[in-house]
Every structure is written in C-alpha cells, then in structure tokens.
Amino acid sequence: MPGADPARRSQLLGLKLAALVRDHAGADAAIVPGVWPGGAALMRNGEAWVLAEDDADRSLGRALAWARQQGAVALHLLAERSTGLLARRAALFAVPPTVWEVRDRTLVRAEAQPHVVPPALDPELAEFAGLIESAGAVPVVERGVLIGEVDGLEVCRAVRDSETGACRLDVGVGAHDREAFQLVHGDVPTAAALKMVVDAVVPHRRPGAEPHPLNRLGAERAVRARLVREPSLVGASSLAAADPPVERLNVKDAVPCAAVGVQSSGEPVVVVCSAGIDLDVIPWAADARACLGLADARLVVVLPERDRADVTVALAGALARPAEVLSLQA
C-alpha cells in the first residue's frame, strides 16, 4: 500500500477502515465515507471513525478537528502504532476519544502508555554549559541532553563518544551539519568553532531578518526563547525550558516545545510554544503538562498571531483541564 498512488491508496485505506468498523460495530448502520489525509475517516450513527496510517503519533488533534467539523458525538481513533501514546493523550480530554489498536482485522482497545522518566544529564557533559554560554549561546537541557541554542536554534550538542567514551561538544545545526563542520573545521578549537557558528547564526535569528533557512528552522523554539527572556508576556515572573513528553528526534522537525515557570501569584505555569498550523499542539501540550507532574497547573499555548486558529482554541477548551491559547505579535 505505501507504494500505491495517492488516490488509490486513499481508496484502499477507506475500504480497510469500513471493513474494520463493520467487523467491530456491525453492519446494521449506514457508513458515510469522509476524507482524511494520511489515512481514512467515516461517520456511523453520528460517531466519527478515523484510521491514522501516517504520523500516527501526531494524529489525535487532527482526528478531533475532523470529528468536530462533522458534528460527531464521539470519536474512535484507530492505528497500528503509537496507540499507547494516543490513549494517554485522549484521556486528557473532557470527552475522551476511544483509541483502538488495529491487529489484522481486529480492534483492541488501547491502554494508556505511562510517561518515561527522562534520564539525568551526565555530569561530565554538564561541564560544557559554561563553554556554551561563553560563546554566546544558551545552554538548554531536554530529556538528559545538553544543547546550545541561539534564539531557539540548536548550534551544538554535548555528546559522549560511543566507542571511546570521551565527552565532546559537537558544533553545528543538526547532525548532518555537525558532521560536515567537523570535516571542514576539525582543527579549529571547540570554543572558537562554536563562536564562529554563533556569530553566523545570530543575524538570521533577529526579528525582521530576511527569510533564510536559519530562521525557518525551529520557529516554535524561537517563540520559547523570547518568552524565557520576557516571561511577563504570559503573566509569569520566570520561565525556563522544560522536558517535552517525548524526545525530539531531529532538529528539522517542527514540533512544539515546553517551558515551565512561576506566575506572579506564585502558582506554577506550563507554557507550550508552537508555530504554523499544528492541529496536534493541544494534545501535545496537555501531555507535556502531565509529564511535568503539573496536571492542575495553568497551561498556556503560545503561537505567532498569524497561526492562531479557531479549531486550536476549541480543542484547548475541550480538555478536562482547559488550556489558554495566546497569540504572540512579532
């Protein structure tokens, strides 16, 4: 099926979903097929059924948005992968969708997967934080990994060599850039190499800079970097980068990021930053709040003003513990 042309693949997925629903729920009700990119969707007895084939782990928000658009009274989300994660996030809504794991022609109700406690930062790697700061970057620790950021863009990463066990600071934007930088500038001392990269990146991350690959990457993390500098924008007295609920695998992946802090009232606040129209940001944000052990804390989702959408606000209000959606002007 992955090799089929898009139209044919969509048709096959629609047939697959219809067969699964009939086998599970019976053939006594009419099925109304729908359109859902990356999978298939249908309505039956006022309930929405969605099959998430592509990017299943980020499908809950899109499925909720589709069900809302159809006026569905309930949502059933089917997937072959990431069902434990989806079930965990579904449980955070006031009216939780039902998540089903597809096993051949059978649907099995998914059980929520517990959060994985992130590892602590290796003390030897933590020593690179000072070098990162001295070069003009900001040390950020996420899920036990120390990186250096310039306005949210990763420019270095502290690593331990898998063969020698030696600790080092790899310089560059992303894994491929770090490898290329090492080949070209391997004889440059680490501190000087990092300063070189920081100086090259800074002009492109400033507000109003001309469009460039270096300011298109990590737009959501640029939002977080600004809020850490100006926490009063979300009514906080302080903010710091926080662990995401799942590891970010690639610097080029546009996924939300989290921060945690204290409001002027002294109460905790969790802030999740996004950029672009990301329909899954609300499930991600609620999961981040729970992962941080702050399930009852105020949750604020912040995104550029141009990216604020009514559906995002609606999903934020549908959480069992609703979130706020704030727009950030450039």
Report the pLDDT value the prediction gives residue 310, as an integer from 0 to 100.
Answer: 95
Report the pLDDT value the prediction gives residue 250, as an integer from 0 to 100.
Answer: 77
Report the pLDDT value the prediction gives residue 16, as an integer from 0 to 100.
Answer: 96
Q: Is the pLDDT of residue 185 over 60?
A: no
| CA–CA separation, 111 and 230 (whole Å) | 40
Residue 175 confidence class, pLDDT cut points 50, 70, 90: low
Q: Is there a contact between 280 and 61 (Cβ–Cβ < 8 Å)?
A: yes
Nearest to 171 by CA among 218, 216, 122, 159: 159
Average pLDDT, rounded, for the chain: 92
Report the pLDDT value the prediction gives residue 176, as an integer from 0 to 100.
Answer: 59
Domain boundaries, the chain: 6-109, 123-214, 218-328
Helix (H, G, I), strand (E, B) or coil at 240: strand
Residue 84 confidence class, pLDDT cut points 50, 70, 90: very high
| CA–CA separation, 240 and 232 (whole Å) | 13
Residue 186 confidence class, pLDDT cut points 50, 70, 90: low
What percent of the chain is modeled with pLDDT above 70? Answer: 94
Report the pLDDT value the prediction gives residue 189, as an integer from 0 to 100.
Answer: 80
Q: Is the pLDDT of residue 183 over 80?
A: no
Cα–chain center distance at 20: 29
Report the pLDDT value the prediction gives residue 195, as an integer from 0 to 100.
Answer: 94
The order of strands in the sheet holding 138-142 is 138-142, 145-150, 153-160, 167-171
Residue 262 DSSP class? E
Q: Is there a contact between 273 and 257 (Cβ–Cβ < 8 Å)?
A: yes
What mean pLDDT is predicted for residues 307-317?
96
Q: Is the pLDDT of residue 1 over 60?
A: no
Nearest to 131 by CA among 198, 176, 185: 198
Residue 181 confidence class, pLDDT cut points 50, 70, 90: low
Helix (H, G, I), strand (E, B) or coil at 268: strand
What mean pLDDT is predicted for residues 223-246?
96
> Which segments of 65-195 are extended strands (E)?
74-79, 98-103, 106-109, 138-142, 145-150, 153-160, 167-171
Position 156: which residue type? Answer: C
Please give the residue that has the higher pLDDT: either 212 or 257.
257
Residue 286 confidence class, pLDDT cut points 50, 70, 90: very high
Q: 102 to each of 29, 98, 105, how far by Cα in Å?
A: 21, 13, 7
8 φ/ψ sector (left φ>0, alpha ψ -120 to 50, else beta): alpha
Residue 180 confidence class, pLDDT cut points 50, 70, 90: low
Query: Could you read off the pLDDT of 198-217 as tens digits, one per residue?
Result: 999 999 998 788 888 888 88
Position 93: which residue type? Answer: F
Query: Could you read off the pLDDT of 17-57 as tens digits, one per residue?
Result: 999 999 999 989 999 999 999 999 999 999 999 999 999 99
In degrees rounded to 5, what are phi and psi of residue 288? -65, -45
Q: Which pair of structure tokens corresponds to residue 278?
A: 């990301």
Report the pLDDT value the prediction gives residue 289, as an integer from 0 to 100.
Answer: 98
Q: What is the CATH number of domain 218-328?
A: 3.40.1350
Cα torsion 279, 308, 43, 12: sign: negative
What mean pLDDT is predicted for residues 119-128?
96
Query: Could you read off the pLDDT of 145-170 as tens digits, one per residue?
Result: 999 999 999 999 999 998 899 999 99
Query: Could you read off the pLDDT of 125-139 as tens digits, one per residue?
Result: 999 999 999 999 999
